Structure 1
Amino acid sequence: MGEMEPRAEEWLARALSQVEADHGAVHLLFPQAERRGGTGARRALLAALHGDQATIRALYERGDSGERLTILAALPELGLGAAAIPLVEDALRTNDARLVAAALGPYGAQWLDDHAFRQGVLKCVFMEIPLASIAGLDRRTDVELTRMLSDFATERRAAGRPVPHDILERI
């Protein structure tokens, strides 16, 4: 990441001051942050919310895919504990492979319960998202997840379809 242009740096400094003074200001600033404040500006604005769960959730719910991706990626840094699980669960219900993969990043790996994590992994398999992109997969793999992946492989073979290599490595 290169240095920000002075105008972007100034915009971001003003935006952060506004958000620090009034968290509601982030609703106008967040959508334009990457364009006006440069790479990382959205994450900086999220950090300035100091764990304001309601505002972060509202940003996610109103956000486009890019904004949602930023929020999902930033979750481990926001100090929300388990409060952001509904955002991760929402992302896992989408058909956007980028959101599904982001949902199974470090935050999802830490906070999702075993059932939700397993279902997320299986969704990745169906969406052909590489298992290597799933945070904590080695740590979270259990007998039930191995069984689910094995069943998937059996069904693929029975249908005459190839089994993805990363699944074969896990069963």
Structure 2
Amino acid sequence: MTWTEEALRTVQEDASHVHVAFPGAARRARAEGVDGERLRIDLLLALPGDADAVAALVQEVYEHGDSAEKLAVLRALPELDHPTDRREAVGDRLLPVVRDALRTNDTRLVAAAMGPYARTHLEDTAWRQGVVKALFTGIPLAMVDGLDARRDDTLVRMVSDFADERRAAGREVPADAWLVLVDTPSTHHGRSLR
């Protein structure tokens, strides 16, 4: 049995073992020719128990993790939100993880935080702020899951204000702003995005 197989089996039997297996998973995975991030996600998916217990463990793993570990947690969220025969769906219990990632300056974490889990569970105000942060930090809005479905007049106003502030400061408006300000690819209410 490989280390990877043993780690997954052990986590299934004793959820607390995730604290031991998760940090070293990427290094061990490389040695076995396995994708380290995928292994970390699979370790989280192997956690047994009710939604409260699983969410508490996942949040602890996130809080104690380095940026690569945090990224794996964020990317695992949509899959953790689906129940299995061993585990309940986590629902909105892991929103604190998303909110924390959105407060960082790590664009990889911000982009991952604005994925399918946020589309489903993040409240409108925080989701809109996440979109504007993505624009501000240069994250392509194509990475924001559900932009078309969740775009509303408030978001349009926020992005329009952001664009106005950039122009007033003599700075270029990110080209992706047109994905929100969709009157035309280059204008909103007759104003150029340049």
- How many residues are paired up? 163
Q: How far does residue 169 in structure 1 lie from its aligned partner after superposition?
A: 4.0
CA drift at 1:60: 0.5
Q: CA deviation at 1:168?
A: 2.9
Q: Distance in 1 between matches of 2:77 and 2:64?
A: 17
Deviation (angstroms), 1:170: 2.4
The aligned counterpart of 1:65 is 67
Conserved 8 A contact 2:26-2:39: yes
- Are 1:28 and 2:28 matched, yes or no? no
- Provide the rounded CA distance (Å) in 1 between the counterparts of 2:169 and 2:122: 32
Residue 138 (structure 2) aligns with: 128
Aligned to 1:12: 4
RMSD of aligned C-alpha atoms? 1.2
**Of 169, 175, 194, the match for 1:165:** 175
Counterpart AA for 2:119: A
From 42, 45, 49, the equivalent of 1:44 is 42
Q: Which runs of 5+ in 1 are unaligned?
A: 1-8
The equivalent residue for 1:55 is 57
Q: Which runs of 4+ in 1 moved over 2 A?
A: none
Structure 2 partner of 1:142? 152
The answer for the alignment partner of 1:3 in structure 2 is none
Q: TM-score, normalised by structure 1?
A: 0.91
- Residue 48 (structure 1) shift: 0.8
Deviation per CA, 1:50-70: give whole Å up to 9, x if none. Answer: 351111110000011101101
In structure 2, the partner of 1:5 is none
- 2:85 paired with 1:75: no
1:160 CA drift (Å)? 1.8
- What whole-Å deviation, never above 9, does each CA across 1:133-153 have from its counterpart, x for those lacking one? 101111111000000001111
Scaled by the length of structure 2, the TM-score of the pair is 0.80
Q: Distance in 1 between matches of 2:178 and 2:59?
A: 37
